Amino acid sequence: MQAFEDTVLGVINAPTQTLLGRPLIGDGAAGTAANPNGGAGGFLYGNGGNGFSQTTAGVAGGAGGAAGLIGNGGMGGAGGAGAAGGAGWTGGWLYGSGGSGGSGGIGTSAVGFNGGAGGAGGPGGAAGLFGVGGAGGAGGTGGAAGGYDNGSGLTGLSAGSGGAGGSGGAGGWMNGNAGAGGHGGDGGDGNAANNGGVGGNGGAGGAGGASRLFGDGGAGGAGGAGGLNGNYNGGGGNGGAGGNGGHSGWILGNAGAGGQGGAGGAGAYEDESNSVLDGYFGGNGGAGGSGGAAGLIGTGGAGAAGGAGGLSVYEGAGDGGAGGNGGAGGWIFGDAGAGGQGGVGGNGFLLRQAGSPYTGYWSGNGGAGGSGGAAGLFGAGGAGGAGGAGGLYGDDYSGNGGNGGNGGAGGMLFGDAGAGGQGGGGGDDFAVFDSSGNTYGYYGDSGGTGGMGGSGGAAGMFGAGGAGGSGGAGGALGYGPGVGGAGGNGGRGGWLFGAAGAGGDGGAGGDGYVTYDGTFSQYAGADFGAGGGAGGAGGAGGTLIGTGGTGGQGGAGGDGVNDTVTGFVNGFGGSGGAGGAGGVGGGWFGDGGAGGAGGAGGDSFQGYYSGGNGGSAGSGGAAQFIGNGGAGGSGAIGGAGSPTGPGNDGEQRLEGAAGTGGLLFGSVG
């Protein structure tokens, strides 16, 4: 039976095979070492052949073969060491998926030489009229640093970077989802302790493919992680950026999400024998990819999180990567994408399993959150991403929290705006002790400052404004705990009608804190509590009608040191943050927003120090034409002074000023 089928196909294919070198029906041949590209499929029906995966260093993988009228495109072959992967080829003109791209080759590594870069992943193939786009190929891992060669005297100082991921293929012209971008390759490691160098950077993730008329955009590929360091003079590599999400179909479809940023490589790590493989700097985390935009109707893609910063031993840890921005919603209808969260900052020392801990000079800052996307005519704006937390355990100072991303605007005709993202908390600066009672991290100047909350987005014609994000809390310990971050401002209500967004609350100030060695014979801690962050202002009501937003509450001040285990007390209390002002009411009609309460002052427990002052209260927002003014915020109490004296209690604040009533009608708040 098979022989009969082959005979029939041979008769059918003979004319086109003879004239054009391509059959009418049948799959294309796979690539070979001599002819690495895959062959084309039949004109009417047949898949393209897959490209050849190379075994020779430095030679790119073969491209996939094209399909005919109906069929899938061939997949690209993997690249040889350090070489790019082959491209996936197009799907059938009428129907068929594009082929996926080939993986990039791993970077070369040899004693006495720097590590080679990984090869880039091949792009995915596009679909025809109907079909799915091919995924991009992954980037190759970078080669490790070669270290010192006793024979030649040569030293490999740096590892190779990871290869970039390939882009995703486009979806079908009429209908079909696009392909995802390939992941970026990880950076190579700096090799063994004192036998290598700088870790390689991670490769960027590939962009997601775009759809045409109908279909979803492809997701962006994740960025590769940075490589580890290799010796005292080295450092970790930076993480690769995530790829952006692809655009959705122009008529209908959801956009692709961004790819996550790669983590920064560690400036030190611990091997199985508890030996620290030490280095200088930790690598920075890669930025998250932004979400793709929608077409006429559809949801915008979400922004991706930034990568975490790498830890360090002797110098500084890496900062967290910024979160990606959210994509815009559909021009006519569709919600926008949310912003991605910022990456966490790297820690400033390594907690060892045995022996003495090591401390870095500073820990990394948290990455900023991505902004939310804006809606089109109808739809909600995207929320802003939260800021990343600051890294812990800096010997000089700890990392600050990242700011929250701003919320996106609501639809121009109708839709609520997005809320602002919360600020990241500042890193704590804890002290640690070894088995001999020696202190590590004790001389840190301060805990990290909390990040500022993002502002809420503004509404369009009808809709509520977005709330402001809360500020991040300040870090504890150190000789100065971190100050709390300010809250974000609320967004404006709709032009014709809509309530305004409330302001975000301020972050609390860091407390004074104590840590001990194992016998409680030594301690280390902060001298005082830090101040709280200010509350954000409430947004304004709609241009015609709408209530003003409430002001955010001020953050509480941190307490001075009060350790119940040993009775150790020290330092004054931090001042509370000011409350945010209430927003004004709508131009024709609407009440003003209430002012935010001030934050309470922190307590002191040592006789010579006073409690912190309470934060000032926010004033109430004014009404404009018709409406009542907003009430002023509550006055905050001051922190208590030490009961043993002579320190005083902190000052208590008065209530905030009341907002005025409307010009035509309305009472004072």
DSSP classification of residue 260? P
Cα–Cα distance, 75 to 53 (Å, whole number): 10
Max Cα distance, the chain (Å) = 107
3-state secondary structure 169-197: CCCCCCECCCCCCCCCCCCCCCCCCCCCC
Q: Which whole number is the average pLDDT over 382-410?
A: 84
Q: Which whole number is the average pLDDT over 35-53?
A: 94
Cα–Cα distance, 251 to 257 (Å, whole number): 18
SS3 of 5, please? helix
pLDDT at position 192: 54
Cα–Cα distance, 579 to 536 (Å, whole number): 7
Tokens coding 345 = 């900052």
**Could you write out the DSSP letters of every residue in 368-391?**
PPPPPPPP-SBSPPPPPPPPPPPP
pLDDT at position 524: 45
Which residues 6+ apart lie within 8 Å of 262 measured at CB?
Answer: 184, 186, 202, 205, 222, 223, 224, 225, 226, 239, 240, 241, 242, 285, 286, 307
Cα–Cα distance, 125 to 365 (Å, whole number): 40
Beta bridge partners of 523: 516
CB 580 within 8 Å of CB 597: no
pLDDT at position 346: 77
Polymer length of the chain: 669
Beta bridge partners of 269: 277
% of the chain with per-residue pLDDT over 90: 47
Cα–Cα distance, 139 to 498 (Å, whole number): 49
pLDDT at 526 over 60: no
pLDDT at 520 over 90: no
Q: State which amino acid sits at residue 226.
A: G
434, burial (CB in 10 Å: exposed 0-12, middle 13-18, buried 19+): middle
Q: State which amino acid sits at residue 317.
A: A
pTM here is 0.91
CB 378 within 8 Å of CB 297: no
SS3 of 91, please? coil
pLDDT at 442 over 50: no
Give the 3-state secondary structure percentages of the chain, helix then strand then coil, rounded to 5: 5, 10, 90
At 587-618, the pLDDT tens digits run: 999 999 999 988 887 766 676 777 678 788 88
- 26 φ/ψ angles, rounded to the nearest 5 degrees: 135, 160
Q: Which whole number is the average pLDDT over 398-409?
A: 88
Q: Where are the domains of the chain?
A: 1-29
Which residues 6+ apart lie within 8 Å of 530 measured at CB?
Answer: 447, 474, 480, 481, 482, 483, 484, 509, 510, 557, 558, 574
% of the chain with per-residue pLDDT over 70: 74
pLDDT at position 250: 96
Tokens coding 86 = 């082959």
Which residues 6+ apart lie within 8 Å of 370 measured at CB?
Answer: 288, 290, 303, 322, 323, 324, 325, 326, 339, 340, 341, 342, 384, 385, 405
pLDDT at 407 over 90: yes
Tokens coding 12 = 């059918």
CB atoms within 10 A of CB 151: 7
- Quote the mean pLDDT of the chain: 83
DSSP classification of residue 443? T
DSSP classification of residue 480? S
pLDDT at position 648: 67
Confidence of residue 474 (pLDDT cuts 50, 70, 90): low
CB 187 within 8 Å of CB 237: yes
Which residues 6+ apart lie within 8 Å of 34 measured at CB?
Answer: none
At 125-160, the pLDDT tens digits run: 999 999 999 999 999 999 888 765 566 656 667 888
Question: How do strand 514-516 and strand 523-525 relate by DSSP bridges?
Answer: antiparallel
SS3 of 15, please? helix
The residue among 30 and 144 whose pLDDT is bigger is: 30
